[in-house]
Amino acid sequence: MDEELRVLLKNNYQFSLLEEEKLNTKGSRQAYAINTNIGKVVIKITHGDRSIEQVQKEVELLSNIEKRNLLCPSIIHANDNSLCIPYEDKFVYAYRYIEGNNPKPSDIFS
């Protein structure tokens, strides 16, 4: 994670970064698992071609699913209560990490 992103997170979220791990993603999207003072958090950085409206709809969907007590990542609002924050030509959002294994298609459809 570059220093500019670390500063952005420090200035926009209440948690403190303790340790980070880059997660495997497809395409130009980036994601990090971060140990923080509030537990494990995932930071996602969108593709550069995503609009703020698209990103907000996706994050709002997760937030609405959580409100209905279904298992999904719990969104962490930024200090200004926004769901995502601008970063270069992309957007960043954070949510609480859910422990578990990554299922493979053969595990799901067997």
CATH code for the domain of 41: 3.30.200.20
Token representation of residue 88? 């270069």
Tell me what pLDDT residue 46 has. 87
- What is the pTM assigned to this prediction? 0.80
* Predicted confidence (pLDDT) per residue in 5-19, tens digit: 999 999 999 999 999
Range of the domain at 8: 3-108
pLDDT value at position 7?
A: 94
Query: Tokens 């459809």 identify what position?
Result: 109
- Tell me if 95 sits within 8 A of 41, measured CB to CB: yes
Number of domains forming the structure of the chain: 1
pLDDT given at position 106: 61
For residue 33, the tally of other CB atoms under 10 A from its CB is 14
Q: Taking all residues of the chain, what is their mean pLDDT, rounded to a whole number?
A: 86
